[in-house]
């Protein structure tokens, strides 16, 4: 049985507020743009109010990651414009919600993921090759690194800086999070993406769910092998994204089991679905 969900962010703040023990901590943040950033930003604002120093590393071109009085922003140049980034992102989102057969949707999402992956790798490579910024991060003596590992650039940076890492995520495609944490993820119980199944399946539905799971063998290699190559070059030793993900201290999983099916979780995986509802009161109108 999964742990009880917290209705609001206090559990997140309690964990992150332990930075530096009795004194205020220094947190390095490597975020992912889009909706991934919006929930994380709210947590960072409260941490800053409680005396913690927050440094955010982000590309100069982004949709939502903008300078704020709540944190120090360190930006690095990227080889694409605001318009190019927004067009690619909108096309990917539109494709993800289009209807059609499994094969049609798979091929469209594959093409969208390829464009999105290539841009993300180029951005990460420029960050890791930015010697001035990397030197600043090495000399800043951070206590921990907070990142969304769906794009593992922050994961690579945490390994380079030898920092304990906290993951703040909704999930990772192709079940890589379950593999990295050795978390049970049986296809007889946990419905796979695009299968339109529930957690209560007949025998034939479980067979269907298992067949849907085979796509992960391809998607994981396709999406993350380039990051493994980039990490190996930067760290100067052979590593994979799975190797780096396994070193996380805490996984803060933005799951809400009102919308997501319950599933087995490991002790260092904490559901924090309530963070989506913080400070968003319902209208008083009937």
What was the pLDDT predicted at 220? 80
- Residue 150 sits in a domain whose CATH number is 3.40.50.2000
What was the pLDDT predicted at 84? 81
Q: If you compute the radius of gyration of the chain from its CA atoms, what whole number of angstroms results?
A: 19
What was the pLDDT predicted at 21? 47
Residue 4 lies in a domain: no
What backbone torsions phi and psi does residue 238 show, to the nearest 5 degrees? Answer: -75, 115
Length of the chain: 286
State the Cα–Cα distance between residues 104 and 246, nearest whole angstrom: 33
Which letter does DSSP use for residue 147 in this model? E
Residue 153 lies in a domain: yes
Prediction pTM value: 0.81
Residue 285 lies in a domain: no
Matching residue, tokens 């994204």: 241
What was the pLDDT predicted at 248? 95
Residue 81 lies in a domain: yes
State the Cα–Cα distance between residues 256 and 268, nearest whole angstrom: 17
Residue 1 lies in a domain: no
The predicted-structure confidence for 237-281, as pLDDT tens digits, reads as follows 999 999 999 999 999 988 877 777 777 888 999 988 766 555 555
Residues of the chain with pLDDT under 50: 1-8, 20-22, 286
State the Cα–Cα distance between residues 165 and 41, nearest whole angstrom: 17
Residue 212 lies in a domain: yes
What was the pLDDT predicted at 82? 80
What was the pLDDT predicted at 283? 62
The predicted-structure confidence for 1-37, as pLDDT tens digits, reads as follows 444 444 445 555 555 555 544 467 899 999 999 888 9
Residue 97 lies in a domain: yes
What was the pLDDT predicted at 137? 97
Domain range for 98 is 10-277
Residue 177 lies in a domain: yes
């Amino acid at each position: 049985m999964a742990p009880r969900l917290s209705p609001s962010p206090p559990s997140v703040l309690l964990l992150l507020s332990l930075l530096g023990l009795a004194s205020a901590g220094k947190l390095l943040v490597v975020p992912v743009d889009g909706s991934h950033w919006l929930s994380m930003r709210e947590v960072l604002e409260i941490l800053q109010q409680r005396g913690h120093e927050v440094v955010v590393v982000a590309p100069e071109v982004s949709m939502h990651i903008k300078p704020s009085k709540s944190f120090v922003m360190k930006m690095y140049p990227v080889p694409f414009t605001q318009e190019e980034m927004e067009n690619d992102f909108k096309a990917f989102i539109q494709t993800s919600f289009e209807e059609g057969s499994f094969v049609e949707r798979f091929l469209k999402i594959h093409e969208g993921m390829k464009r999105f992956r290539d841009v993300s790798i180029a951005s990460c490579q420029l960050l890791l090759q930015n010697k001035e910024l990397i030197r600043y991060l090495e000399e800043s003596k951070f206590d921990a690194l907070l990142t969304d590992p769906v794009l593992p650039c922050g994961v690579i940076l945490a390994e380079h800086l030898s920092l304990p890492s906290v993951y703040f995520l909704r999930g990772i495609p192709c079940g890589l999070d379950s593999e990295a944490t050795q978390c049970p993820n049986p296809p007889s119980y946990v419905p796979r993406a695009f299968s339109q199944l529930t957690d209560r399946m007949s025998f034939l539905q479980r067979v269907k769910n298992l067949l849907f799971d085979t796509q992960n063998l391809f998607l994981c290699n396709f999406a993350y092998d380039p990051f493994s190559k980039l990490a190996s070059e930067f760290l100067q030793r052979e590593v994979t994204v799975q190797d780096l993900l396994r070193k996380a201290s805490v996984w803060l999983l933005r799951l809400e089991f009102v919308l997501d099916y319950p599933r087995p979780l490991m002790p260092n995986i904490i559901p924090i679905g309530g963070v989506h509802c913080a400070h968003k009161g319902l209208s008083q109108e009937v």
